[in-house]
Structure formats: C-alpha cells, structure tokens
Amino acid sequence: MREYDILIEKFHDFFTQDGNACVSLGVNKHLDDLPNPSLENAALRIAAGKKLLADIISFPKGVLEFDQILDLDLAALAVEFAIYSLTYRFNGKTQLQQKPTAGADISDGMFLLFINDPRPSHERLDHITARLEKVPQYLEQLLLTLDTPVERWVSMDIEKVNGLPEFFETLYNWAKSEQYNQLERLAAAKQQANDALEEYIAKLKAMPTTTNFFIGAEQAKTCIALRGIDKSLEELHTMAVQFLQDTGKELELLSGKLIDKYSLPPTTTLEELHTFLNQRYQVKLTHKDSFSDILLRYKEEKDKIIKYLQKKELFPIGEGQDMLIMQTPAFMAPSIPAGAMVSPPPFRPGTKTSVIYLTLSQELLDEHTELSIPSMMIHEGIPGHHLQLATAANHPSVVRRHFDAMEHAEGWTTMLEDYMLDIGYMGELTDEARFCAKRDISRIGARVAIDLYFMTGDIKYLDVGIDVDVTSDDPFINAGKLLQKVTGFVGGRVQAELNWYSQERAYPLCYLTGNKLVWELKTDMVKAQQGKLEGFELDKVFHSMYLKAGNMPVAFLRKVFEHEKLL
C-alpha cells in the first residue's frame, strides 16, 4: 500500500542524512560531507526522530502482512535507539558533548571510499577531496560541541588522529598514480587538514576532562532494552557467572588431555598451556617484521573453509559476495583489538564485499596462530559475519537492511565457533583449537561483566567468580585485570578491548547474550521438529532460515521461525 511505502521511505531518509552512514550503506547521498557534530544538528535529528517514531507507532497494522508488521516494529526500535543515543546524559551532558570523534568521523567514510567502492577512482577522489576541504570546519564545530570530554576517549581520539596524516598521504599517492585531474586541489586540502588536526590536538589536550563515563543503572536498562534484549541486569550478570564457570570446567578437561598429549608437567597452568600452544603453532614468518605471511594464511584459510562447507552443503553460500582481508590501518587499531569486519553496503548493487581487518603487531602475534586463524575466519568470514551480512544485504526489506542487531550477529558467529569444531573442521587439532577458542571466547563472559560495570559504575558486576583484585579507583585497571585473567590476552589487546567497551554501550554484552539466545532457538527447533528433521538436514534448514530472515533481534527472529512453523 502506498502509505506504508511512503513511511518506509521516510525511515530510509532518516537514516541516510549522515555522509559516513551513506558510504557504509552504499547510498549515493551526502558523499561529499563529513558528519555534522553540532548540537543544533543533534536537536534536529531528535525532533525528526520523534515525529517519525510517532508516525510508525500510529500506523494502522490491520491491513498489513506479517513481514510488514514485523518491519514496522523493527523500525520503531531502530528510531527509538537513535533518539536515545542522542539524548541520554551523564555528568549532566550528552555523550556527543563528551566523546571526541574526529579520528573516526574524518577517516571512516574516506577509507571506505578508498578501499571498498567499485566506482571509477576519479569519482571517489572527488568525494574524498571535498571531505578533506571540510576538515577544518568540522574540527571547529566539534571543539565547540565538546564540554569536559572523557579522559580515556580524548586519548583514543588523539591516537587515531595522529594516524590520519599518513592515511592522507596514502590517498594523495593513490590520486597521483591515478593521474587525478585535481591533484593540486587535493594536495592543498590535505595540507589544510593536517594543519587543522595539529591545532585540534593542541586544543583538545588543553580541555578539562573527566574520568567518569558511567551512565547509571536506569539508563543501562533502557539501552539494553533498545538493543532488543529482554533481560534484566541481574539476569545478564548471572548468565556471565554461569558461562565462565562452565567454560572453566571445559578448559580444565581439555588442559588435562593436552598436557598428556604433549607430555607437559602435570602442574602446567592454563596460562602456561596456552603460551605453549601459541608458540608451537605460530605462523612461520618469512621476514621478522613482515606480516604478509599472516595475511596470506588468513586468505588460504578462507578458501579452505569455503571448500569444506561447499562439500557439506550446510550453509547457503550464494554467488555475488566477496571478502577483502587486510591489516588494520594504524588510525583504526586503537578500537580493533584483533579483528573486525565491515559489512557489505546493503544498498549498493553488485557484489556484496566485506572488509575484514586484522590488527597485527609483534605483541599481537599470539592472537594469530595456526589454531586461532581458523576460528577468526569462521567468526569474521564464512560462515560468520560476512556470510550473514552479505546474505542480509540482499533482503528485500529496507528496514532489515538498515537494522543493526548485534546479539543476532554476534550470537550467530560465536555459535559457529563451537559448531565448526563439533562437525570436525579442525580434525586432529580439534582439542587444541577448542582449548584456544574457549580461552578466547571466555572474553564474552568477561564482556558482560565489564559492560554492566562500565555502564552502571557498580563494581559488583565484576564479581563473576574469578579471583582478581578490583579495588582500584580506575575502572580500566579493574576491568583490565578481569579480562586478562579470564582470557590471557596480551596487554595491547586488553586495552583495545576496553577502549570500545567503554564507548559502545550494551554492545559487548551482546556476544554472550546472543550466543545463549541462538543456541536456545536451535534447541527449541530441534524439539519442535522431532520426527521431522534431524542432524545435518535440520542444521541446513536452521542456517538457511536464520540467514535469509535478515537482520533483527533474536526475539523477533523467533516470530519468524514460529510463522514458518519451525517452532
């Protein structure tokens, strides 16, 4: 019906007003523009969001089909979360006023235009040049918006900004190699941007800062609910405690088997066993300071996984999708602990291409071994995030192509880390891979505890049955001790993890929450399909329905499974 289509168009327009959002979505609007960090723009966004939300809620659903009703409910949740993100307050101010974002706001869109856009180079360089020319004005506006920013976030932004001149130089060299016809204009914009960044850092360093970034229990509850998660703070904390207990027992059993297998001393600790396996299964580097061998191993593993899954036909791996695997750029490394995936632009026609970032350094070599690389590729690539989001990017629903359902995405990938081992992907190294994976996935239990702590400020949430001293006045020291104890992560990864935990409210807890919800969904389907579907045939149907339904919280996905008579 026409009225419904108009409402969906308004929804699409609301979420395509930001230049960086348009780049990541593959929408040809505002591509010359950096984000607008002003309070005035935020006020306009809030007013527009409230009007749109009212229109969505009041729309008559009696004449709509199941998928349309579901999409309207999803749309309402997405808009409400957007409004909340701009309005919640701590220290008497909004997050916009306390979170310096120059590094991300300037680089995110430019980098995707550079690395993951199929259009001719001169078109992309026109947009990049226009954005560079707007850097000084953007920074002036951001400094006017900031008011006593969070100290940790200041340090994070300065580290990112310090990496931008090198990135700008890369863009210039690319433009030169492409014989860009406005090279002088680009060079002038680059110099002006670099000068403005130096001034920005000096002014940012001179600002008074705060160490408090807690938002309180009530706002934390709202944030969690708007992620589509219907669980209390206490339920989430209990889930983390139980998960860490269960994982600890699995690790003890696995360590006993591996200590015997490798004839290690009976007193070998989990940490010592993990170090032993990391060293034994290191990727052999041709050159000590070169990480090209590690990148090559990831690409080889990607191909190996795809061949394995195509043979088993367990997942619907369609044509028209691809992955770009690369080392994390320096300006992005502070927020990407080990690896991350940027999803395919869902509104761009053609091949759905993901970008997989790998954070590589001498310190982080233990994060990229012959045992951990398969797990990372399963999680970030196929059948993990890339397959899920490349499939979702082709969904006909505009709302679902916009929607970010983090527990849906992270629940899927963390479930697969176990599933792929269960079906024998690692062969004779299954126990070794599972041990390392369990050590690594322990992070998702710690993430719940730290996320709740970082939102509420209540130290009780760090009490998850792990013996660590959390008496510091610095929340990052307390959280870091727990995370390191649980996972064995090196210091650099611990700090990078904590960086994004502190800013992405209620996202870190989505990993474990989603993991539990996805396994519960599958368990319920097994019960409902008893005598009809079982084994790999049931797995195939579950995977296909999960992927083809598109992006939505798992609570909404249950409705889809019920509608399809699978529950």
Position 146: which residue type? L
Predicted confidence band of residue 290 (pLDDT cuts 50, 70, 90): low
pLDDT of residue 512: 96
Q: How large is the average pLDDT for residues 120-131? A: 97
pLDDT of residue 337: 62
pLDDT of residue 366: 63
Average pLDDT over the chain, rounded to an integer = 94
pLDDT of residue 327: 83
Whether 362 shows a pLDDT value over 80: the answer reads no
Q: Enter the tokens of residue 191.
A: 């110099």
Q: How large is the average pLDDT for residues 330-336? A: 68
Would the CA dihedral through 280, 282, 284, 285 be positive or negative? negative
Q: Enter the tokens of residue 328.
A: 């994390």
Phi/psi for 90 (5° steps) reads -150, 150
Whether 208 shows a pLDDT value over 90: the answer reads yes
Q: How large is the average pLDDT for residues 100-109? A: 96
pLDDT of residue 297: 87
The SS3 of residue 361 is coil
The percentage of the chain sitting over the pLDDT mark of 70, rounded to a whole number, equals 97
Predicted confidence band of residue 490 (pLDDT cuts 50, 70, 90): confident
The larger pLDDT score, comparing residue 443 to residue 526, is at: 526
DSSP letter for each residue of 144-198: HH--S-BHHHHHHHHHHHHTHHHHHHHHHHHHHHTT-TTHHHHHHHHHHHHHHHH
Predicted confidence band of residue 289 (pLDDT cuts 50, 70, 90): low
Least confident range of 351-360, 470-479, 549-558: 351-360
Position 46: which residue type? I
Q: How large is the average pLDDT for residues 55-71? A: 95
The Cα–Cα gap between 466 and 156 comes to 29
Whether 335 shows a pLDDT value over 70: the answer reads no
Residues 6+ apart with CB under 8 A from 495: 476, 480
pLDDT in tens, 383-437: 999 999 999 999 999 999 999 999 999 999 999 999 999 999 999 999 999 999 9
The number of helix segments (H) and strand segments (E) in the chain equals 25, 5
Whether 244 shows a pLDDT value over 70: the answer reads yes
pTM higher than the cut 0.95: no
Determine the distance from the C-alpha atom of residue 4 to the mean position of all C-alpha atoms in its chain, rounded to a whole number: 31
pLDDT of residue 398: 98
DSSP letter for each residue of 375-430: HHHHHHSTTTHHHHHHHHTT-S-HHHHH---HHHHHHHHHHHHHHHHHTTTTGGGH
Q: How large is the average pLDDT for residues 140-166? A: 96
Helix or strand (DSSP H, E) at 125: helix 121-133
pLDDT of residue 363: 62
Whether 267 shows a pLDDT value over 90: the answer reads yes
Q: How large is the average pLDDT for residues 173-195? A: 97
pLDDT of residue 287: 65
pLDDT of residue 388: 95
pLDDT of residue 185: 98
The Cα–Cα gap between 161 and 102 comes to 7
pLDDT of residue 487: 83
Residues 6+ apart with CB under 8 A from 170: 114
Whether 439 shows a pLDDT value over 70: the answer reads yes
Predicted confidence band of residue 298 (pLDDT cuts 50, 70, 90): confident
pLDDT of residue 334: 67
Whether 474 shows a pLDDT value over 80: the answer reads yes
